[in-house]
Amino acid sequence: MELNSIKPAAGAKHAKRRVGRGIGSGLGKTAGRGHKGQKSRSGGYHKVGFEGGQMPLQRRLPKRGFKSHLLKFNAEISLSALSSLGLAEVDVLALKQAGLVSELAKVVKVIKSGEISTAVKLSGITATAGAKAAIEAAGGSLA
């Protein structure tokens, strides 16, 4: 193989469409842009969401909802994930090392999803009312 004999795969390259190059090309005169109007002109187009001066949809609809920027620091863990961990004492660091919560997590909360049968002592972790009852029923505690 020589450098001068290298060619791209068949069909990988194709000629650029040349518009505005006469009647015979099939794309002469208006070059596929139609007649008149903003879209036919060079440099003429509108910004995203522009509706010709009419109040755009995103401004007609009311603002609704809120997404906290602190959400990335919050994490939740289920009872079943907690029981599968198999540790007697669980804290945020142990959950991070096990890969059950993200490295960014600062606040971890246990939710009542699944079952727990082993006694687990939680430190620095909160729990919902149902999850707390299930943990205490299994002989565990929250600190």
Question: What is the per-residue pLDDT across 117-135, written as a single tens digit (0 to 9) for each?
Answer: 999 999 999 999 999 999 9
| Structural domains of the chain in order of their starting residue, each with its CATH number | 18-61 (no CATH), 71-142 (3.100.10.10)
Closest to 104 measured CA to CA, from 126, 71, 140: 71
Q: Quick one: pLDDT at residue 37? A: 92
Provide, rounded to the nearest whole percent, the portion of the chain with pLDDT above 90.
Answer: 88
Q: Report whether pLDDT(79) > 90.
A: yes
- 77 bridge partner residues: 110
Q: Can you tell me the distance from the alpha carbon of 77 to that of 126, in angstroms, rounded to the nearest whole number?
A: 10
Q: Quick one: pLDDT at residue 1? A: 84
End-to-end CA distance of the chain: 71
Residues 6+ apart with CB under 8 A from 69: none
Average pLDDT for 6-30: 94
Closest to 115 measured CA to CA, from 92, 138, 97: 138
pLDDT band (50, 70, 90) for residue 143? confident
H/E element, 90: strand 89-90
Question: What is the per-residue pLDDT across 55-71, written as a single tens digit (0 to 9) for each?
Answer: 999 999 999 999 999 89
The label of the residue with tokens 């246990």 reads 110
> What does pTM read for this prediction?
0.54
Burial class (CB in 10 A: 0-12, 13-18, 19+), 92: middle
- pLDDT, mean over the chain: 93
